[in-house]
Amino acid sequence: MPIALSGHYGYRRLVRTAAPCIGMMLVSSVYGTVDGLFVSNFAGTTGFAAVNLMWPAIMVLGALGMMVGSGGAALVGKIKGEGYPLKADRVFTMLVRFLGCSGVAVGMLFGIFAPAIARWLGADAAMAADCVVYSRVCMAGMPFFMMMNAFQSFYMAAERPQLGTWMSVACGVVNMVLDALFVAVLGWGVTGAAAATMLSWVVGGGFPLLYFSSRRMNHGTLHLLRGTRTLWPYVGKACTNGLSEYVGAISLSLVSICYNLQLMHYLGQDGVAAYGVVMYVSFLFAAFFIGYNIALTPVIGYHYGAGDLAEQRSLLRKSLVVIFVVGLVLTVLAEALAGPAARLFVGYDHGLAVLTTRAIRIYSLCFLICGWSMFASALFTGLQNGVVSAAAAFMRSLVFEMAAVWVLPALVGIDGIWWAVNVAEVLTLLFCAFLLVRYAPQLVRRG
């Protein structure tokens, strides 16, 4: 069922519009979590730590797809709002082509330098081989991974968000079934987990290429065209527009690398394993905010292109309420499920399970407020102000959280590592409030 970008959005329509994108992100998070479960319980702590050590670096590359997809979806939404559907198709086509070529190039480079990257990330001798194998297998599917991430945003721009949900389900099923076969049955360990993940990317990035290229399959409002030349100014605009999503993703990856370095220093492999569980829980819960932002960014872009200021204000006010309610519920759930989640992943090691439970309970307090700052970044993306959007994402992760993860442990010990995110979110919330008043006063004033 299509979901139009135009028209007024009440609370019910907001939830109905965002639900498919939230479901899409939840499914993606769930199958990523299942991947970690298989590795931890069948490959052991060393393999689990190796996967979690390399994953942030892999995400730095995959986030290029998020950048082009988010920025491109907002741009396509704006162009459609201005009344130029064919131009929107052309921009969409060249962005997808750009991602495919970029994925091949960066995947090859990462595979070549994988041993050096593993050493730089802090891998010890026991973990190095698993790190290299995991990353090289994943690199074979990097073009599809980048396109899969981009299509998550373009589904909404095409007014077909349900397709994104079904594709996430399909990828999740492929990943989980192959995890069970490769890791649990055949005993391929980290190599099997990487192969399962890579093949799920091929499904997630390959099918949309066929769908959007076929007029017979796709009766929506966005299509891939043949013979469209690359117009670099639009590629640059999409990348600039989605810069906040890329900065946010790579900042998260760089911060994760800093967490791992600190944890290797203080706790060794157990610390990295505990942080891996925290991240799986965090990704699962943050999926609500990410999915909501994916859905709302092209909607905001459409109404910005149409010049509907009243609807932009309405979207901001209602979104703040929705995000507060969701954040409160998520925080309560995270605190209640910390123990069971830790035992599910690392129940074979009592000491590690206790460490992980405490880490989850401290870290998860951030869900009370992080949704607001994440939405502020998405709001500026929809308003075609990628620089301000990127500034919000940059300060949130790369400045505030990275500083906290290095400083707090020296002041309060190990718990300081887990408290770092909460300190960073408070500072980010204040910074985003300043950005709204400074760069979007027309949205926050009474009227």
Residues 6+ apart with CB under 8 A from 249: 59, 60, 62, 63, 66, 67
> Do 25 and 168 meet the contact criterion of CB atoms below 8 Å apart?
yes
Cβ atoms 279, 253 nearer than 8 A: no
pLDDT at residue 412, rounded to an integer: 87
pLDDT at position 1 is 47
Distance CA 142, CA 199 (A): 10
Pick the closest to residue 146 from 68, 212, 33, 231 (CA basis). 68
**What are the pLDDT digits (tens) for 124-153?**
888 889 999 999 999 999 999 999 988 888
Distance CA 276, CA 387 (A): 31
Structure tokens at 20: 């498919």
Distance (Å) of CA 37 to CA 6, 72, 135, 321, 434: 42, 34, 18, 34, 41
pLDDT number for residue 324: 93
Among left, alpha and beta (phi > 0; psi -120 to 50; other), residue 384 is left
CB-CB contact of 365 with 297 (8 Å) = no
What's the CA gap between 114 and 57, in Å, rounded? 10
Instruction: Output Rg (C-alpha) for the chain, integer angstroms.
Output: 21
For 53-85, b/e burial (b = at least 16 CB within 10 A) is bbbbbbbbbbbbbbbbbbbbbbbbbbbbbeeee
Q: Which amino acid is at 281?
A: V
**Exposed, middle or buried by CB within 10 Å (0-12, 13-18, 19+), for 381?**
buried
Residues in contact with 131: Cβ distance below 8 Å, sequence separation at least 6, in sequence order: 50, 53, 54, 114, 118, 121, 123
pTM score of the predicted model: 0.68
Q: What is the DSSP letter of 400?
A: I
Q: Please report which helix (H) or strand (E) contains residue 439, including its range.
A: helix 415-439
Residues in the chain, how many?
447
- What residue ranges of the chain have pLDDT lower than 50? 1
Burial (CB count within 10 angstroms: exposed 0-12, middle 13-18, buried 19+), residue 215: exposed
Half-sphere exposure of 233 (CA within 13 A, CB side): 0
Gap between the Cα atoms of 192 and 133, Å rounded: 10
DSSP string, 335-378: HHHHHHHHHHHHTT-HHHHHHHHHHHHHHGGGGGTHHHHHHHHH
What pLDDT is stored for residue 217 in this prediction? Answer: 64
| Contact between 267 and 414 (Cβ < 8 Å) | yes
